[in-house]
Structure 1
Amino acid sequence: MIVLLKIILEILLTNYVSNTDIIINEYYELFLKYIDVGTIYIENMYQTDKIRLNYKYVESNEIKFLMIFYLIKVHLSKKEYKIAFKYLKEIIEVQPNYARLIQMYMEKIDFELKNN
């Protein structure tokens, strides 16, 4: 399922982002599903207590991206927002194709923080 979500997301991003800078909510929702499924995959396939130390050495950008997103979710759940935002900035370098979606993710977190 994760591969299928990634393929769909890549096709949509390639076709949509090349035509306009606006990303509609359906693409963002698909991105969130990809992240959710991907982080579950990471939790089941890797020793999560070692991800923080090892993600930089992973060759696959997709796995590295999902590992970093796993770390982001962990830090957000602990209300460690500065650390989560540090990883969000780093993650754009790993998957620049998702930069706009990651930016939307950051904006939603920032909005939630300001309104709570």
Structure 2
Amino acid sequence: RAREAGALVVHVQNDGPAGGDDEPHTPGWELHHPVDTGRGEVVIRKTHDDAFQETSLESVLTTSGVRSLAVCGLMSEMCVQATARTAVELGYRVVLPYDAHATYDIPAEPGISAVVPAAVVSRVAAWPLSR
């Protein structure tokens, strides 16, 4: 929908450590959706959960006049939440589309807790960001 509306689309790509699941230039690291740089889409690579930390994200948004963000992606309780929190602190209007961010089940801890379903984890991650 953002593409159809002509909105800026920023793809944030995580650069993980050597040997990690998201190690740059290894299978699975590539972005899932194609980037259309000809239509104003950009890729920002990051090494922290927060996509604003040590990246050009704020500059790209400011230069483009963006004041509202829809934050989507993985993982709800980590990268999505960290990026959304910073965006709120910077004064952006932030939307977390319920069906556009996700995570994994939190495994059971024998004698402590049962499995926490991914849908619950995502909801809890978004809750403190609501107003």
TM-score where L is the length of structure 2: 0.28
Structure richer in strand, relative to its length? 2
**CA radius of gyration, larger in:** 2
Structure richer in helix, relative to its length? 1
TM-score where L is the length of structure 1: 0.30
More relative contact order, 1 or 2 (CA 8 Å, 6+ apart): 1
